[in-house]
A and B are shown apart, each in its own frame.
Chain A
Amino acid sequence: MLFLTLREMRAHARRLAGTSLAVVLGVAFLTGTLVLGSTLRRNFDDLFAGAVAGQDVVVRSETLMEMDSPRGLIDLSLVERVEAVDGVAHAEPEVSGLGQLLGADGEPIGGMGPPQLAGSWTEDPELNPYRLAEGRAPERSGEAVVDRNTLERGDLALGDTTTLLTPEPFEVTIVGVATFGDEDGMAGVTYTGLTLEDAMAQVTGSPDGVSSIAVRAEEGVSPEELAERLDAALPDGVEAVTGEALADEQMDEIADTFLDMMLAMLTTFAGIALLVATFSIYNTFSILVAQRTRQVALLRAIGAGRGQVLRTVVIEALVVGLVAAAVGLVGGLGVAALLTALFDLAGFALPTGGMVVTASTVVAGLVVGVVTTLVAAAAPAVRATRVAPLAALRDAEVERTSPSRARAVVGGAVLAAGVGLTLAAATSEGGNVAVAGLGAVLTVVSAVVLGPVVARRAVAVLGAPVARLRGVPGGLARENAMRNPRRTAATASALMVGVAVVTLFTVFASSLEASLEDTLDRSLASDLVVNDGAWGGGGFSPGLADELATLDEVEVATGLGTGEVRIDDDVKSVSVAEPAELARVADLGVTAGSLTDVGDGRIAVAEDTASSHGWAVGDTVEVTFVDGRTEELAVAATYEVDDLTGGYLLPRSVWERHALQPTDRMVLVDVADGVDLDEAEAAVTEVADRFGGPNVEDREEFTATMTAGVDMMIGVVYALLALAVVIALMGIANTLSLAVHERVRELGLLRAVGTTRAQVRSAVRWESVVLAVFGAAGGVALGVFLGWALVETVSAATGNLGSFALPTGTLAVVLVAGALAGALASVRPARRAARLDVLTAIASP
């Protein structure tokens, strides 16, 4: 039978190509994600390995807050103790921290994604991952070495003088240009190297503390052994790790905080694309099998067994899946490049070198492609075996058209269960995300199952205006869309799923934006907000708030920063501010105590956080800081609105005793009475410009900046979902092509009795539009319901994310876009239908 299958496939290559494309795209997306993943992993690996190259052992503080925040400091005098240990060839103290270098335009260089680093220039070339390419190392205070990449991005050159924000402004002269190994820079990281003294004074602000000590081992001493010896010689709270372990640690960290999440997200979207592709493949195979009914019957009549018929379809699916997956694998390389570009566009610079294609990627792509195709083709294959040999003798009835009662009953039951669970989860106290998820899946499944049941009626209603407005072609379009509800539903299902996910995200994002706006509206009382953008740059010096407060135009200016502490052994994010001042420009909805009482030795806690810990005003909370020290802080106030400050609000006086580089994320400014807002904004901007030029925005602009973050996220999501929607549209185009092929005689007859080419085209086009609108409308309905459920459940579960907001405008755009896309999908099949030669069409069997 193989020869027959292959012969058939060759004869219908064009029809199969349409099917394959769905698999190709799905697999390409998946392998693109996997390739991107392994490429990034490899590049990060290289990066971290390069960064510790030559450093056999690193001595550092044991204190750690969050993986990606700096550790505590260690005493400079430890260098002598380290050098005294047997096997140490050389040891050098290092200071590292954050520092934004201002470019020629006065704006900080970089800031999205890769960190902006500043530290001491390590003199020993073997311990320093950076190499001097031009100029010399910093020798005097105010001299700096900067990596070549950063200089180019900031339009700076050797000998220029600029400002380094640590976050205090510090003037530096560039005396040297560095490369990271052979590269011009370290994957988007900006690096400024100072003298050790400058770095200690500016970056860590400690007279006798350094970040770490880099150690080179003597010949014949292994790093592991040396690390052990050093550990024994070091005091408590200080540890020695090998450079290799350090690189691994950093790799794990980037994987935990960013890589895994990003790849999981991409894989999810690849999964959605593949799911949509499954519908498409299922539909094509159903149609191909239906069109082959007579041939299958003939084979059965002359002695082909059911198994042989099943095998022909399965082999066909196998070959389609294999070929498509192979093509998709190649396409995956392109997708990986595209995804990188997409992230670049969104402002995340990813380190990319050569593409890394692992064996597991290839296997995963092939297996997923083949399995997806086989699963999708299974039902049509089984249907093919049910063709009776007698069908060869009858006029081929093309496909069973009416959905069964069982389908309606099962679909209805699943729908009731799905909607019931979803509603229960969304409206319950505390919101059960797992139950809501199950309900959502069941609801989607029921929509797919019920599709054929409602298709005829739905399409009749949607097609009614078309039939009225477009005359005969419109009527034909409507009738054609109605005549096979199963096929109509399967075609529309693909689009429905795609559109439902788009809608879900749209609803979620608009609700998120609405509640963000709502919160800012309620809690923010300041006229101006100085901030460093939605994604957060490096922040700026608390000195900015102090200086702004001295302006005549300004009534109140108070900074708000963030940091990490350890409470009850958990790392918590805290806000840092002058609570008394903050109370003048923000309404936190204090429920007990008073923000003016939150001074030194005190803390304010959000109501939810307090109640979950069982704290009340007057209780004490034990807080451990990055320097390893612990303070007992008394709760002096609890507040309700935690969107601005999070769960904990620490007074600046407490924070600055322990923090390495106190930084503000925003300054809330209240303009003095009688001062024009524009005038005040100009005055504030003038000062802000000296601090790296953070944005100075009024309330409206600030709200827009905050929601822009959501917009950007949803933009990326749309781009990722576009593929699923494209696959769905290709499914429509493919179905129509097959339908045209199948209706050749009928089309010929229409032409023979006087239908014009334009009318034939119009009929196919409007059929496509009706199909697309059916799918899009179903998707929007489904997406709105599930979006509402998601918002309600998450908001009940977390207490955040206020209210459901319906983005009517955007959803209308989705529907119109669906209709237009339907018209677009019909271009080729419509052209083919119109081009049919009347006589051949009628004569064809």
Chain B
Amino acid sequence: MTTTPTATSTDVRTRLAAQAVEATKVYGSGPTAVMALDAVTVGFEAGRFTAIMGPSGSGKSTLMHCVAGLDTVTEGRVLLGDVDLGTLSDRDLTLLRRDRVGFVFQAFNLVPTLTAEENITLPDRLAGRRTDPDRLAEVVETMGLGDRLAHRPSELSGGQQQRVAVARALVRRPDIVFADEPTGNLDSRAGAEILQLLRRAVDELGQTVVMVTHDPRAAAVADSVVFLADGRIVGRDDDPTTASILERTSSLGG
């Protein structure tokens, strides 16, 4: 069952931050080969918050890794903006990740020996650039990290660590932010906080966020939800609520 696209989504469709076209990913070879993605075509609109949902083994993480340039597709194309990732060398992919993509992972997001501020500015340091102080202040303000900047990760709570990770992902104004189960390791209160921060990043800072999750309540925060099963897109919900998502996932057997 497909929901009718809402008016807003049709209007902003003009620009896609990232898209996969007929993307296929096969792990291994011969009889043990596993098809993680099966000719997936999907687009992620700029300035919107998209969630990717699906049961374990549905290929949702693989899809994100391929679109983010962390992994390569076996067949098909992946475009970030108008750059075809398949044509890039490792070096160019690295530079692309550094300059145009932000990441938030489920765990081990921060370098333990660096302070919160140093972790946030790490991508700029890697690029040999100084972080714009205004942008840093803006992000730190949005993430509510003002009094935590000098702390090491071990001195921060799980939620605070994840907020530092989000700040790091945002500080360079990336074209797109990928979040991989960002609330997976957090209690429900801290998890909800992170989701709200990602929401504000989209609404207030105009960022594009793509989040992989298996939690319907998390997905409900997004503007759209893409459903995956067995490596294929099986649906899309452009007005997600926890209830509508639950309904969909239960029908998918996830």
Task: List the interface of chain A (C-beta within 8 A of B).
Answer: 1, 3-4, 7-8, 10-11, 294-295, 298-306, 308, 388-390, 392-393, 845
Contacts and interface: CB of A to CB of B under 8 A. Distances in A.
B109 A298 contact: yes
10 contacts: A4-B113, A294-B108, A295-B111, A298-B111, A302-B103, A303-B123, A303-B126, A304-B126, A305-B95, A392-B108
B126 A1 contact: yes
A294 B106 CA distance: 13
B199 interface: no
A11 B65 contact: no
Contacts of A389: 70, 97
Given A11-B113, A303-B123, A305-B126, 14 more contacts: A3-B125, A4-B111, A4-B113, A4-B114, A4-B122, A11-B112, A298-B105, A298-B108, A299-B126, A301-B103, A302-B97, A302-B102, A304-B98, A845-B108
B120 to A, nearest CB: 11
Contacts of B123: 302-303
A300 B90 CA distance: 10
Contacts of A300: 94
A3 B114 CA distance: 9
Contact of A301 (B70, B106, B113): B70
A11 B70 CA distance: 29
B184 to A, nearest CB: 11
A298 B122 CA distance: 11
Interface residues of B, number: 30
Contacts of A295: 108, 111-112
Interface in B214-231: none
Interface string B109-137: 10111100010001101110000000000
A275 to B, nearest CB: 33
B65 A302 contact: no
Contacts of A4: 111, 113-114, 122, 125
A769 to B, nearest CB: 34
B111 A305 contact: no
Contacts of B99: 303
Contacts of B97: 301-303, 389
B91 interface: yes
A450 to B, nearest CB: 30
Contacts of A845: 107-108
Name which of A7, A10, A302, A390 has the most chain B CB atoms within 10 A of its CB.
A302
B37 to A, nearest CB: 15
Contact of A302 (B98, B108, B114, B118): B98
B94 A393 contact: no
Closest 9 CB pairs of A and B: A303-B98, A11-B113, A7-B113, A305-B94, A303-B97, A304-B126, A389-B70, A303-B126, A303-B123
B81 to A, nearest CB: 16
B168 interface: yes
B168 A302 contact: yes
B47 to A, nearest CB: 22
B201 to A, nearest CB: 17
Contact of A393 (B114, B127, B168, B180): B180
Contact of B126 (A10, A308, A392): A308
B61 interface: yes
A393 B75 CA distance: 23
A303 B96 CA distance: 8
Contacts of B107: 845
A199 to B, nearest CB: 77
Interface in B39-77: 61, 65, 70-71
B90 A306 contact: yes
Given A306-B91, A390-B65, A392-B108, A7 B114 contact: yes
Nearest to B61: A393
B91 A303 contact: no
A682 B103 CA distance: 95
A303 B106 CA distance: 18
A1 B99 CA distance: 17
Contacts of A304: 94, 98, 126
A305 B71 contact: no
B96 to A, nearest CB: 8
A197 to B, nearest CB: 84
A390 B70 contact: yes
B105 A393 contact: yes
Contacts of A306: 90-91, 94
A299 B70 contact: no
Contacts of B98: 302-304
A305 B94 CA distance: 6
B90 A303 contact: no
Interface in B198-243: none
Nearest to B122: A302
A418 to B, nearest CB: 38
Contacts of B111: 4, 295, 298-299
Nearest to B181: A393
Contacts of B95: 303, 305
A388 B122 CA distance: 19
A392 B127 contact: no
A389 B91 CA distance: 12
A507 B91 CA distance: 55
Nearest to A306: B90
Contacts of B94: 300, 303-306
B95 to A, nearest CB: 7
Nearest to B108: A294
Contacts of B180: 393
A298 B119 CA distance: 11
Contacts of A11: 112-113
Given A298-B108, A392-B105, A303 B127 contact: yes
